Amino acid sequence: MKNIKITAIRKARYDDLIEKYENPIDHPCDIEEGQVFIAEGWKRPEGFCESAWESISPFVMTLAYGGENIYDGWMKNRKSAMISCNDGFRPVSFYIEVMEE
């Protein structure tokens, strides 16, 4: 099984949606752009957002087990994917790639 590098590429924030729909919360997303996590195979990296993991974990698992060319040529790097978390107020886009040994 391969290790997977997960890099937070972009973090958006939709203040208009937050104001209109979200109840105030004490601890919104604390992932920062450029932050890197390493998944040892299928295992969620320590400190990685559980909700974001639910969004990206199927892609991490596919790549960790040797899958590639997800969605038939979608990515320039066949052993990667760009996946966003499911937070509609503060989505984070993650670049997921196989770490070659």
pLDDT of residue 62: 95
| Tens digit of each residue's pLDDT (9 = 90 or more) over 8-48 | 999 999 999 999 999 988 778 889 999 999 999 889 999 99
pLDDT of residue 17: 96
The pTM score is 0.92
Looking at every residue in the chain, the average pLDDT score rounds to 94
Res. 82: pLDDT tops 90: yes
Asked whether the beta carbons of 11 and 90 are under 8 A apart, the reply is yes
| Tens digit of each residue's pLDDT (9 = 90 or more) over 38-76 | 999 889 999 999 999 999 999 999 999 999 999 898 999
Residue-range domain boundaries for the chain: 3-98
